[in-house]
Amino acid sequence: MTDTPSIDRLIAIMARLRDPEDGCPWDLEQTFRSILPYTLEEAYEVAEAIEREDMASLRDELGDLLLQVVFHARMAEEGGHFAFADVVEAICDKMVRRHPHVFGAVELADSAAILAHWEQLKAAERAGAEAGEPNGILDGVARTLPALVRAEKLQRRAARVGFDWDAVSAVFDKVEEELAECRATLAEHADPTERVHEIGDLLFSCVNLARHMDVDAEQALRAANQRFERRFSQVERGLREQGLEPSLETREEMERQWTLAKTAERA
């Protein structure tokens, strides 16, 4: 019987890979910035495994994501900033601090109260971290988040202090208003920059609509992407069965195959 795998083994492997004398040349060349794209990619691959409900892939992808954490921590340790143990200690302290209803004497009635208290604690932490600096409602929403995710977080922050639509019907009106403004930028002499701004306003309004309808905009768009890929693949298969290829000349048949693909999914 083998020993239970330990995080210490992974930490030791990373230390070996970063050894200046006998490590891996590629690993030694990496910096926080150079491996950042890999960190983001691994997080998205975790999300994809979850969406596919593929537990074997999820196990592997979580391991890849954990490796990224260990990699960053190792480089930080080499720079004298912090080590992996400090990362673990910080998150343990944070989770205990943010769950006083579990680890303390605070009583919270339900999930809504727990989330509200969680946000209050986060706000207090941000205020403490930024002592001496103006502490805006929107401070701390990471600029590197995907745009749809960040838009929703900004809107939720503003909504907590009452800056929000009172009813979903008003959000529908706002989406229609922004769509009309987008149409106006199709005029012959429209400013291209204004067109970009209006499209951005329309997308922001659509995120607001999703939020008011209790829909995660990022997940909704990811699902729409997957549906499009799946249906278009069916269109290509339908064309190949007739000896055809996607092109302007086969557009009518592509539309027919698209309708068939949608109908088959709904059935």
Confidence label for 131 from pLDDT (cuts 50, 70 and 90): low
Lowest mean pLDDT among 42-46, 171-175, 190-194: 190-194
Task: Kindly state whether residue 253 falls inside one of the protein's structural domains.
Answer: yes
Task: Kindly state whether residue 108 falls inside one of the protein's structural domains.
Answer: no
What's residue 133's pLDDT? Answer: 59
Task: Say whether pLDDT at 212 is over 80.
Answer: yes
Task: Say whether pLDDT at 94 is over 80.
Answer: yes
Task: Say whether pLDDT at 82 is over 80.
Answer: yes
Task: Kindly state whether residue 45 falls inside one of the protein's structural domains.
Answer: yes
* CATH number for 16: 1.10.287.1080
* Final residue in a domain of this structure, among 32, 63, 81: 81
Domain count, the chain: 2
Alpha carbons 60 and 46: distance in angstroms, whole number: 9
Nearest of 83, 86, 70, 88 to residue 27 by alpha carbon = 70
* Final residue in a domain of this structure, among 34, 62, 81: 81
Lowest mean pLDDT among 9-18, 93-102, 222-231, 238-247: 93-102
Task: Kindly state whether residue 120 falls inside one of the protein's structural domains.
Answer: no
* Final residue in a domain of this structure, among 46, 81, 116: 81
Asked if 244 contacts 250 with a C-beta cutoff of 8 angstroms, the reply is yes
Task: Kindly state whether residue 233 falls inside one of the protein's structural domains.
Answer: yes
24: domain range? 7-81
Task: Kindly state whether residue 95 falls inside one of the protein's structural domains.
Answer: no
Task: Kindly state whether residue 34 falls inside one of the protein's structural domains.
Answer: yes
pLDDT digits (tens, 9 = 90+) for 62-76: 999 999 999 999 999
Q: Which residue has the higher pLDDT, 13 or 106?
A: 13
Task: Say whether pLDDT at 130 is over 70.
Answer: no
